[in-house]
A and B are shown apart, each in its own frame.
Chain A
């Protein structure tokens, strides 16, 4: 049986009336959650959804999303959570790459999918909110759990495919088994000392592996998860105060925005521990947060493939400036030099990591998976060094990448869309610093005659996801290139940022 499902059913027996999840005005206790999960599990089996089937979820954060995650754990299904802001072509590509068979979405999204995505006869379409064509309403999935319930999920089976964008424009689904998700949640529970009295805030979208982990942290410990359907700094502060939130892991760009709003509140008393992920916070922002949030403060380094690899406490941060911390227990980090040897102290190279929380590979892409592994270590594609005390320093990225609001963006994905506008001769996408999102997308364009920026912006809006939208446009006569004709992006960055 799936340990994740088993633990949730146990919580329902031991603490049935305890609130498991809050979301907006809604809440659900452990008994109701377990009943929902067992009822839907039976109903899905009756509707022909089989062990190992891949099921796409295109929903905003909601209680039903979490119940579906637990149904997948119980029935041995593979959940494919997708960003609802993706353009339809990208969703279609994700369906193909991740071998999606069934889909759960809002009626509006199903309508959009219906016109573009061929539906197989044996695939099940489920609507969250309104009736649409042959789709079943989620609330109508009522199985006879008393007599027909069976649990088919296994800890060592694929559980979630987290989609990340590949540098070629093709999605790279990261395969995570139930035991990997469990190990990741348990590791955070240990590091941040989470217990059943904690109230955990989930402020990132559930298609993000961080949000899934936070939900599991709360539910596996018998605590309470507070799910934000939408993020804004003022809403974050309001919810923390209203629900007396005690723990959260937030993306650093969210915390930067919160820091700018926090002067309006006296102080927040409920928080016990806050963790910042994705990128290092500026010292001034960190100090403001620590003063106002009045709690233990950690930063961490990790990737979707390895989860958390390092931990930096607020105390260490004061004398190890710009470090991302030391390896957490059971995790080894190292630096790989260009000639394939392990680097010495303070020698710069690629950050590699050996961890029990490692992903199981990129789904359907064994070569890509093999290329990312060096002698049991995952090669992160990030550049760094480790000092004499074992503290890791993140120095940049080996792969060309922009990180905006915690989401990885590959410039090539954007450049390939911009070049489709026939009045663009050449373009180069590069990161531009931003107070709110950390980095935003900037593009330098060599235009042809009659070039129209508005037409280009419309094309981008139509073809790219919201996080990929260029926000800074620089019209140039030519792009800086080296003697081999390669565009020198560092020169663009130093000129325009």
Chain B
């Protein structure tokens, strides 16, 4: 399941371009690097909610974990469990 979540998150993030080849995926901060910006964050979030039938709260979005791929995958996994 983790792999499925991870792949979905990566493909949603990569809509603005491929992730750097040599980056550590799990700790990669896709917000600070501009892959998901303040304009695109709503659609990004809703696409995740719709795919996994979960609800992301404001506190989820404000947490430091939300900004990294590994952290976000963890948040989604906990919501599904």
Given contacts A228-B34, A230-B37, A454-B55, contact A466 B42 (CB under 8 A): yes
Question: Using an 8 Å CB-CB cutoff, how does the interface string of A449-492 with B read, 1 for contact, 0 for none?
Answer: 00000100110110000110101000000000000000000000
CB distance from B61 to the nearest CB of A (A): 12
Would A461 and B46 count as touching, CB distance under 8 A?
A: yes
Most chain A beta-carbon neighbours within 10 Å: one of B17, B18, B55: B17
- Report the interface size class on chain B: 20 to 34
Neighbouring A residues of B17 by C-beta, 8 Å: 60, 229-230
Interface of B is mostly: loop
Contact among A60, A85, A461, A466 for B50, CB-based, below 8 A: A461
Q: Is A325 an interface residue (CB 8 A)?
A: no
Q: Is B79 an interface residue (CB 8 A)?
A: no
Given contacts A228-B34, A232-B32, A234-B32, contact A458 B39 (CB under 8 A): no
Most chain B beta-carbon neighbours within 10 Å: one of A230, A234, A405: A230
Measured CA separation A357–B8 after assembly (Å): 45
CB distance from A108 to the nearest CB of B (A): 8
Which residues between 35 and 75 of chain B lie within 8 Å of chain A, taking CB atoms? 35, 37-40, 42-43, 46-47, 49-50, 55
Would B33 and A232 count as touching, CB distance under 8 A?
A: yes
Would A231 and B42 count as touching, CB distance under 8 A?
A: no
Looking across the interface, which residue of chain B has its beta carbon closest to that of A465? Answer: B43
Given contacts A454-B55, A461-B50, contact A229 B16 (CB under 8 A): yes
Neighbouring B residues of A437 by C-beta, 8 Å: 38-39
Neighbouring A residues of B34 by C-beta, 8 Å: 228-232, 235
Question: Using an 8 Å CB-CB cutoff, how does the interface string of A213-247 with B read, 1 for contact, 0 for none?
Answer: 00000000000000011111011000000000000
Measured CA separation A229–B32 after assembly (Å): 13
Q: Is A29 an interface residue (CB 8 A)?
A: no
Q: Is A183 an interface residue (CB 8 A)?
A: no
Q: Is B9 an interface residue (CB 8 A)?
A: no
Neighbouring A residues of B10 by C-beta, 8 Å: none
Most chain B beta-carbon neighbours within 10 Å: one of A60, A460, A461: A461
Neighbouring B residues of A436 by C-beta, 8 Å: 38
Measured CA separation A458–B37 after assembly (Å): 19
Looking across the interface, which residue of chain B has its beta carbon closest to that of A232? Answer: B34
Would A230 and B16 count as touching, CB distance under 8 A?
A: yes
Looking across the interface, which residue of chain B has its beta carbon closest to that of A229? Answer: B17
CB distance from A86 to the nearest CB of B (A): 11
Most chain B beta-carbon neighbours within 10 Å: one of A25, A235, A466, A471: A466
Neighbouring B residues of A252 by C-beta, 8 Å: none
Q: Is B31 an interface residue (CB 8 A)?
A: yes
CB distance from A459 to the nearest CB of B (A): 10
Neighbouring A residues of B15 by C-beta, 8 Å: 84-85, 108
Neighbouring B residues of A407 by C-beta, 8 Å: 39
Q: Is A257 an interface residue (CB 8 A)?
A: yes
Neighbouring A residues of B47 by C-beta, 8 Å: 461
Contact among A235, A458, A466, A471 for B40, CB-based, below 8 A: A466
Given contacts A84-B15, A458-B46, contact A230 B39 (CB under 8 A): no
Measured CA separation A437–B16 after assembly (Å): 19
Given contacts A60-B17, A229-B16, A461-B50, contact A85 B40 (CB under 8 A): yes
Measured CA separation A407–B37 after assembly (Å): 14
CB distance from B12 to the nearest CB of A (A): 12
Neighbouring B residues of A454 by C-beta, 8 Å: 49, 55
Question: Using an 8 Å CB-CB cutoff, how does the interface string of A124-159 with B read, 1 for contact, 0 for none?
Answer: 000001000000000000000000000000000000
CB distance from A433 to the nearest CB of B (A): 14
Measured CA separation A231–B16 after assembly (Å): 11
Of the A-B pairs whose beta carbons lie under 8 Å apart in the complex, a sample of 8, sorted by A's number, is A85-B43, A228-B34, A437-B38, A461-B46, A461-B47, A466-B40, A467-B39, A469-B46
User: Which residues of B come within 8 Å of A, CB atoms?
Assistant: 15-18, 20, 31-35, 37-40, 42-43, 46-47, 49-50, 55
- Nearest first, the 3 A-B pairs at minimum CB distance are A230-B34, A232-B34, A461-B46
